[in-house]
Amino acid sequence: MTDLSPDLKHRSAFGETPEEALKEMPRAKAAWPEAAISESRPVPRPCFRPAIYQAA
């Protein structure tokens, strides 16, 4: 599964098919900071900006 949120390293989503895994990505993305906080791990500040938002 390709990481769609590079700021959230080591986050992954699973499913029986690639399509199901993609559907799980929003839940995995939302759960990642909660899990990091509960384990006293740092939550990185967002730094990834898709090219569409990188205006000169």
Q: Does 45 reside within a domain?
A: no
The answer to whether 16 touches 24, Cβ cutoff 8 Å, is no
Q: Which of 5, 2, 50 is nearest to 27 (CA)?
A: 5
Q: Does 54 reside within a domain?
A: no
If one counts the domains in the chain, the total is 1
Q: Does 21 reside within a domain?
A: yes
Q: Does 46 reside within a domain?
A: no
For residue 51, the one-letter residue type is A
Per residue in 2-56, pLDDT tens?
444 666 666 778 899 999 988 988 888 888 888 889 999 888 777 766 666 666 5
Q: Does 25 reside within a domain?
A: yes
* pLDDT for the residue 50: 65
pTM exceeding 0.85? no
Distance CA 36, CA 50 (A): 24
* pLDDT for the residue 2: 43
Structural domain boundaries, residue 25: 11-40
